[in-house]
Amino acid sequence: MLRTYRPWPTIIVYGLLIPPTLAFIVTSVRSTDPDINPASRLLVLGASVGLFAFLVRSIWCSVRVEANGIRVVNLLQSRFFAWTDIEAFTLGPWGMVPRRGIVILRDGSRHGMVAVAAHGRVLGPDRGAQKTISELNQVLLDYRNVEQGRD
């Protein structure tokens, strides 16, 4: 593996949310208060476990650059894209995020990258996502130059 791109600010925030989520799970399981409706306890437990799973999976989202392509690890799936199948990388609308990293394949299909997103920031523009896209496009260009015998 040559390089891994991860959304560090997201990882830090979600990492900070994991302990309270675990506390809700433990509290839901260990609570013996007879005034709490069992259905409510089950609802809180289910929501807490679901939130915990989402947070842990979000932390693992990444884009891994490898010698023969990239592996995009999103919330629900992990996909490998060979350099020969990739046309370009760009930022654009994907789902509810207005500027998400997108892999454009030569067949015209587009695949989002959860780990690369340009979220608006209060203190100024988020240039990290654009930098990541530029670096990925440069790696793709380098691969094509090597394939065509240029250095």
SS3 letters across the chain: CCEEECCHHHHHHHHHHHHHHHHHHHHHHHCCCCCCCHHHHHHHHHHHHHHHHHHHHHHCCEEEEECCEEEEECCCCEEEEEHHHEEEEEEEEECCEEEEEEEEECCCCEEEEEEEECCCECCECCCHHHHHHHHHHHHHHHHHHHHCCCC
Joined together, the tokens standing for residue 60 give 């693992």
CA–CA distance, 30 with 14 (Å, rounded to integer): 24
Please give the mean pLDDT across all residues of the chain. 85
Residue 82's pLDDT band (cuts 50, 70, 90): very high
Q: Which of 35-49, 91-105, 118-132 has the lowest mean pLDDT?
A: 118-132
Domain residue spans of the chain: 3-59, 74-147
β-strand partners of 150? none
CA–CA distance, 34 with 8 (Å, rounded to integer): 42
β-strand partners of 69? 66, 82
pLDDT tens digit sequence for 53-64: 888 888 888 999
Q: Among 73, 71, 101, which Cα is nearest to 88's? A: 101
pLDDT of residue 123: 47
Cα torsion through 12, 13, 15, 18, rounded to 10: 170
Q: Among 67, 78, 81, which Cα is nearest to 147's? A: 67
Predicted model pTM: 0.78
